[in-house]
Protein backbone atom coordinates (compact mmCIF):
# COMPACT_ATOMS: atom_id res chain seq x y z
CA UNK A 1 0.00 0.00 0.00
CA UNK A 2 3.01 2.30 0.50
CA UNK A 3 3.51 2.56 -3.26
CA UNK A 4 0.08 4.18 -3.62
CA UNK A 5 0.70 6.94 -1.12
CA UNK A 6 1.97 10.48 -1.51
CA UNK A 7 4.50 10.92 1.27
CA UNK A 8 6.48 14.00 2.33
CA UNK A 9 9.77 12.88 0.72
CA UNK A 10 7.90 12.76 -2.62
CA UNK A 11 7.00 16.46 -2.52
CA UNK A 12 8.94 19.43 -3.83
CA UNK A 13 8.29 22.39 -1.55
CA UNK A 14 11.52 24.40 -1.65
CA UNK A 15 11.30 27.52 -3.83
CA UNK A 16 14.98 27.30 -4.77
CA UNK A 17 14.51 23.71 -5.97
CA UNK A 18 11.60 24.84 -8.16
CA UNK A 19 13.88 27.48 -9.71
CA UNK A 20 16.60 24.87 -10.37
CA UNK A 21 14.10 22.57 -12.04
CA UNK A 22 12.79 25.40 -14.22
CA UNK A 23 16.32 26.31 -15.32
CA UNK A 24 17.76 22.81 -15.84
CA UNK A 25 14.73 20.69 -16.65
CA UNK A 26 13.17 19.38 -19.84
CA UNK A 27 9.90 21.14 -20.70
CA UNK A 28 6.91 19.36 -22.28
CA UNK A 29 3.50 20.80 -22.95
CA UNK A 30 -0.04 19.64 -23.67
CA UNK A 31 -3.36 21.43 -23.97
CA UNK A 32 -3.87 22.07 -20.24
CA UNK A 33 -0.55 21.22 -18.59
CA UNK A 34 3.17 21.87 -18.87
CA UNK A 35 5.67 19.53 -17.23
CA UNK A 36 9.27 20.17 -16.29
CA UNK A 37 11.41 17.12 -15.52
CA UNK A 38 14.85 17.25 -13.93
CA UNK A 39 17.20 14.65 -12.41
CA UNK A 40 17.52 14.75 -8.61
CA UNK A 41 20.19 13.38 -6.28
CA UNK A 42 17.76 11.34 -4.20
CA UNK A 43 16.41 7.87 -4.88
CA UNK A 44 12.80 8.99 -5.07
CA UNK A 45 10.41 10.49 -7.61
CA UNK A 46 9.24 13.90 -6.44
CA UNK A 47 6.29 15.98 -7.55
CA UNK A 48 5.77 19.71 -7.48
CA UNK A 49 2.62 21.49 -8.59
CA UNK A 50 2.37 25.08 -9.79
CA UNK A 51 -0.99 26.72 -10.32
CA UNK A 52 -1.33 30.48 -10.64
CA UNK A 53 -4.33 32.59 -9.74
CA UNK A 54 -4.94 33.08 -13.46
CA UNK A 55 -6.15 29.47 -13.52
CA UNK A 56 -9.21 30.28 -11.44
CA UNK A 57 -10.44 30.81 -7.92
CA UNK A 58 -9.14 28.89 -4.90
CA UNK A 59 -11.77 26.16 -5.20
CA UNK A 60 -10.78 25.43 -8.80
CA UNK A 61 -7.04 25.58 -8.08
CA UNK A 62 -7.34 23.21 -5.12
CA UNK A 63 -9.42 20.76 -7.14
CA UNK A 64 -6.79 20.69 -9.90
CA UNK A 65 -4.06 20.10 -7.31
CA UNK A 66 -6.02 17.22 -5.78
CA UNK A 67 -6.53 15.65 -9.21
CA UNK A 68 -2.83 15.94 -10.09
CA UNK A 69 -1.75 14.47 -6.73
CA UNK A 70 -4.20 11.60 -7.19
CA UNK A 71 -2.84 10.93 -10.68
CA UNK A 72 0.72 10.87 -9.29
CA UNK A 73 -0.30 8.58 -6.44
CA UNK A 74 -1.99 6.04 -8.72
CA UNK A 75 0.43 6.21 -11.68
CA UNK A 76 3.92 6.40 -10.21
CA UNK A 77 5.13 3.93 -12.83
CA UNK A 78 4.73 6.56 -15.56
CA UNK A 79 7.09 8.96 -13.79
CA UNK A 80 10.85 8.52 -14.29
CA UNK A 81 12.89 7.26 -11.32
CA UNK A 82 15.20 9.69 -9.49
CA UNK A 83 13.60 12.72 -11.12
CA UNK A 84 11.78 15.80 -9.93
CA UNK A 85 8.65 16.58 -11.89
CA UNK A 86 6.82 19.91 -11.78
CA UNK A 87 3.36 20.01 -13.31
CA UNK A 88 2.15 23.49 -14.22
CA UNK A 89 -1.54 24.08 -14.91
CA UNK A 90 -2.20 26.52 -17.73
CA UNK A 91 -4.46 29.53 -17.29
CA UNK A 92 -8.10 29.58 -18.39
CA UNK A 93 -8.44 25.83 -17.87
CA UNK A 94 -12.04 24.53 -17.89
CA UNK A 95 -13.34 22.37 -15.06
CA UNK A 96 -11.80 18.95 -15.69
CA UNK A 97 -12.75 15.52 -14.41
CA UNK A 98 -10.19 13.09 -13.07
CA UNK A 99 -10.48 11.08 -16.29
CA UNK A 100 -9.65 14.12 -18.43
CA UNK A 101 -6.66 15.00 -16.24
CA UNK A 102 -5.50 11.39 -16.28
CA UNK A 103 -5.78 11.08 -20.06
CA UNK A 104 -3.88 14.32 -20.67
CA UNK A 105 -1.07 13.57 -18.20
CA UNK A 106 -0.76 9.95 -19.33
CA UNK A 107 -0.30 11.12 -22.92
CA UNK A 108 2.22 13.71 -21.75
CA UNK A 109 4.32 11.19 -19.78
CA UNK A 110 4.18 8.41 -22.37
CA UNK A 111 5.32 10.68 -25.20
CA UNK A 112 8.48 9.33 -26.81
CA UNK A 113 10.94 12.12 -26.02
CA UNK A 114 10.09 12.44 -22.33
CA UNK A 115 12.97 11.63 -19.97
Total tally of structural domains belonging to the chain: 1
pLDDT tens digits for 61-95?
999 999 999 999 999 888 888 999 999 999 988 88
Phi/psi-derived region of residue 113, left when phi > 0, alpha when psi is between -120 and 50, beta in every other case: alpha
Q: What is the pTM (predicted TM-score) of this model?
A: 0.89
Task: Judge whether 66 and 28 are in contact, CB under 8 Å.
Answer: no
What pLDDT score does 6 carry?
Answer: 76
* CATH number of the structural domain spanning residue 15: 3.30.230.10
- Residue-number span of the structural domain to which 27 is assigned: 2-109
> CA 2 → CA 6, 37, 85, distances in Å?
8, 23, 20
Per the domain annotation, does 73 fall within a domain?
Answer: yes
In a domain, 114, yes or no: no
On whether the CB atoms of residues 44 and 79 are closer than 8 A, the answer is no
Assigned domain for 41 exists: yes
How high is the pLDDT of residue 89? 95
The answer as to whether 115 is a domain residue is: no
pLDDT, tens only, 3-18: 677 788 889 999 999 9
Give residue 2's pLDDT. 57
Amino acid sequence: MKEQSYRKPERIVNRNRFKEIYNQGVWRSSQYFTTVTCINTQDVKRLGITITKKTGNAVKRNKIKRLIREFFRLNKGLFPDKHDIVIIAKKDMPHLTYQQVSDELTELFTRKNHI
